[in-house]
Amino acid sequence: MQFKKVVDDIRSLRIQGAENIARESVTALYHIIHKSKADKAQDLLSELHEAHSTLINARPTEPCMRNALKYVFSNINEHDIIRLIRDLDTNIEYVMHYFDKAEKTIAEIGSRKVHDKSIIFTHCHSSTVMMILAKAKFSGRSFRVHNTETRPLFQGRITAKELSALGIKVSHFIDSSARLALKKADMFLFGADAIQSDGRIINKIGTELFLEVAEKYDIPSFACTVSWKLDPMSIYGVDEPIENRRKQEVWEKPPKNVTIMNPAFEILDPKLVTGVISELGVYRPGVFVDEVRRTQPWMF
C-alpha cells in the first residue's frame, strides 16, 4: 500500500529534505482521504489522525512536516463528511501551492544578494541554496562557489555536481580547510533543518564551526529556508533532539576500542547568523520568529 511505503521511505531516509518530506506526507494523507471507505466525518478523521501520528513518528525531528500536517487539519468541518473532504482537499492544495510559491520567492530574494564577481561559500547540500544560486546564474550574474566536501556522506559533491551542470565555477575544499575557502568569500549561504523560537537554527554538523570563522572574517551569513521549518513546540521549551546517524557512514569496519561518533546536526547560535532568507523576506533570526507568528497564526 502507498501510505506504508511513504512512511517507510521517510523513516529510512529514502525521502530527504524537509520540504520533500512535508509534501510526501501531505500527499499520503490525500491518498488516504480518497481511498477511505468512511462515510462519517468522525470515522475519516480517526483514520487520518492515526495516519498523522504514524507519519510524525516516522521522523520525529521534522517541524516542516508537522506544520504542513497541522495546516491540513486547520479550519475543517468536522461533522459533515462532504464538507470535511472538500476542506481537507483545499488545505492540501494550499500546502502544495505555498511550497511552490515560497521556493520561487526565496530564490528571487536570495539571488539579489549574489552580486556579480562575488564568491559564495556553502556547506553540505541545500536545495534552497541551490535554487538561489541557479536563479542568480539565470539572472546573468557571474560568481564562484567555494564549497566543502561535507563528510561523511560527501553531500558537497552533490552540490558541486549540480553547480557544475549549471555552468557555475566551483572550488572544492576538504572540511578542515574551510577557513581558506571562507577567507576569500563574500557571503555564506546555508540551509536549515529546523528553527527554534529562541532563534537557534538546526543544521548539518560543521555549520556553526564555519559560522564562527565567517564572523571572525566579517562575512555575512544567511540561513535560507521556507518559514514552515519554525518549530512552534520550542516556544514551550521542547528541545529538538539531535539525530545520531549510523556509524558505518563514517568507517565501515573500525577496529575494536574505537567508538565512532556521528552526530548529523548541530544547533546554531543565532548571534552568528546575519539573517534568515525566507519567503517572508530577510530578517534577523529573532525577528524572523516574530514575522512567522504575525503572518501565520494558525501555526501556534
Check binding of 262 to a copy of itself (CB under 8 A): yes
Q: State the nearest-atom distance from the C-beta of 72 to a copy of itself, in Å.
A: 24
Rule CB under 8 A: which of 33-52 touch a copy of itself? none
Whether 175 contacts 206, CB under 8 Å: yes
Applying CB under 8 A, the site for a copy of itself has a residue count of: 86
Check binding of 299 to a copy of itself (CB under 8 A): no
For residues 92 to 131, the per-residue mask of contacts with a copy of itself, x marking binding by CB under 8 A and - elsewhere, is ----------------xxxxxx-x-------x--------
Check binding of 235 to a copy of itself (CB under 8 A): yes
Check binding of 91 to a copy of itself (CB under 8 A): no
Q: State the nearest-atom distance from the C-beta of 171 to a copy of itself, in Å.
A: 5
Give 37 or 294: the residue with its C-beta nearer to a copy of itself: 294
Check binding of 257 to a copy of itself (CB under 8 A): yes
Give 87 or 285: the residue with its C-beta nearer to a copy of itself: 285
Check binding of 63 to a copy of itself (CB under 8 A): no
Residue 128 Rama label (left phi>0; alpha psi -120 to 50; beta): alpha
For residues 146 to 185, the per-residue mask of contacts with a copy of itself, x marking binding by CB under 8 A and - elsewhere, is --xxxxx----x--xx-xxx-xxxxxxxxxxxxxxx-x--
Whether 121 contacts 185, CB under 8 Å: yes
Q: Which stretch binds a copy of itself (CB under 8 A): 4-12, 23-31, 52-60, 290-298?
A: 290-298
Buried b (16+ CB within 10 A) or exposed e, 260-298: eeeebbbbbebebbbbbbbbbebbebeebbebbeeebee
Cα–Cα distance, 216 to 200 (Å, whole number): 19
Q: State the nearest-atom distance from the C-beta of 188 to a copy of itself, in Å.
A: 14
Give 56 or 158: the residue with its C-beta nearer to a copy of itself: 158
Cα–Cα distance, 49 to 51 (Å, whole number): 5
Whether 264 contacts 171, CB under 8 Å: no
Rule CB under 8 A: which of 191-210 touch a copy of itself? 196-200, 205-206, 208-210
Check binding of 239 to a copy of itself (CB under 8 A): yes
Cα–Cα distance, 165 to 66 (Å, whole number): 34
Cα–Cα distance, 17 to 187 (Å, whole number): 23
Cα–Cα distance, 170 to 185 (Å, whole number): 12
Q: What is the C-alpha end-to-end distance of the chain, expressed in Å?
A: 33
Of these, 38, 47, 284, 296, which contacts a copy of itself (CB under 8 A)?
284
Quote the radius of gyration of the chain (alpha carbons, Å). 20
Cα–Cα distance, 189 to 111 (Å, whole number): 11
Q: Which of 76, 77, 106, 110 is nearest to 94 (CA)?
A: 76
Q: State the nearest-atom distance from the C-beta of 91 to a copy of itself, in Å.
A: 26
Give 39 or 236: the residue with its C-beta nearer to a copy of itself: 236
